[in-house]
Amino acid sequence: MADSVLYFPSIRPPENEWFTSVLLYWDRVGTILPEELADDDRFLRSYTSALLREELLVPVSPTNEFWYGDAGDHFDAFLSLIDNDPLVQKTMSPATQCAWERVHLTKIGYGLATALVERCLAKDPSGDPGSLWIDVERRTANLLMAYLAVIVGQDKTVGMDPITDSPAAIDAFKPLPEHDRLLDTKRHSIRFELLRDILPAPAGGIEPARLAEFKEDHKELLTNFRRRIEAEAIHCAGQSDDRDRADLMNAARDGLKQELAEIEERMKERKWTVVWSAVGVVAAALTVADLAFTGGTLATAASTLGLVAAVDQAFRGQRRSAIFDRPLAFAAFARRELGS
């Protein structure tokens, strides 16, 4: 299980309680940052610049060797994903009725940008030759950002699991309506499980330098606690019965009370107001073993697994164990205050 996470869908992370939790509980937190913007303080703004300066946030910029080596089929795999996604197909025309999201061209690549323009899923950027941004249809953009986060996180030099606070980004991982007979017995091939009110974190307004100091002082306590939460959340996500899953979540909270109390105390020693956050995992309930009867390929499962099948295709099936044995993505949301 990775001790590092890659924030998506945007380049600049939000300045709020949930991202403070991410910064404290994971060893390394990255963001996909094009090299052209790495020193652009005007674009990054003061908060992101400070996080980079304190090394709480790590810039990630994959090389061409990765894109055309390990993930050599990423281009065709993503086009296959959007061509078969019914939610994307519905928005392909007329283009004037689409909702758009801005995406940096370094993230998307000129070849993929052209392919999306041809499908009426992106606006032709040629009218503004100096711009490094392109408008992409919203559903396509959400799929693309989630897809890139998984792909880039699999880079051996990166080794990060995706993390987000965007419901639309989490939705990108959900399976499509099942049509594959081979998978009819697996009703919920992808599950999202949320452990509510489980991560203590300081309320907003804490300077990055102070966060970095606290993280360094209590790194082992914070990391071990988060690892236990991950394991519990993944275990809960694997339980298909709603009642049994609820019992598991209640037992998890009870088992973590001692660590919760210690972390809260350490934060209150600094006169911080404590906020309880939720942490969730998107996990594949369909395991590698379950896929054995598909003939060793996820191609037959594409209409069910959607984005997951596309990631598998991008790596030509060579990263399947890593994809299915780890969380597909994390999510975190601020919940309530405990008082100072």
Beta strands at 100-104 and 133-137: parallel, antiparallel or unpaired: antiparallel
pLDDT at 214: 97
d(CA 263, CA 267): 6
d(CA 149, CA 170): 12
What pLDDT digit, counting tens, does each position of 250-277 carry? 888 788 888 889 999 999 999 999 988 7
Q: Is the peptide bond before 14 cis (omega within 30 degrees of 0)?
A: no
Average pLDDT, the chain: 78
Residue 288 has pLDDT above 60, yes or no: no
Distances (CA, A) of 111 to 107, 278, 321: 11, 39, 29
> Of 25-29, 216-220, 279-283, 296-300, which range is least confident?
296-300
What pLDDT digit, counting tens, does each position of 124-172 carry? 877 676 778 999 999 999 999 998 998 888 888 888 989 988 888 888 8
pLDDT at 170: 82
Model confidence at 285, in pLDDT bands (50, 70, 90)?
Answer: low
Tell me the two tokens of residue 100.
Answer: 């758009």
pLDDT at 85: 83
d(CA 279, CA 198): 7
Q: In terms of C-beta density within 10 A (0-12 exposed, 13-18 middle, 19 or more buried), how is residue 139 classed?
A: buried
The H or E element containing residue 18 is helix 17-25
pLDDT at 84: 83
pLDDT at 233: 78
What pLDDT digit, counting tens, does each position of 44-82 carry? 999 999 999 999 999 998 766 666 666 667 888 899 888
pLDDT at 73: 77
pLDDT at 207: 94
pLDDT at 132: 86
pLDDT at 210: 96
CA dihedral 273, 15, 263, 283 (to 10 degrees): 140
pLDDT at 187: 41
What amino acid is encoded at 133 in this protein? W
**Between 257-268 and 219-237, two packed helices, what is the crossing angle to 10 degrees?**
140
Q: Are 303 and 180 in contact (CB under 8 A)?
A: yes
d(CA 92, CA 98): 8
Q: Are 233 and 281 in contact (CB under 8 A)?
A: yes
Q: Quick one: average pLDDT of 304-331? A: 66
> Of 21-30, 234-243, 251-260, which range is least confident?
234-243
What pLDDT digit, counting tens, does each position of 79-99 carry? 988 888 877 855 555 555 678
Highest mean pLDDT among 44-58, 112-126, 161-175, 221-235: 44-58
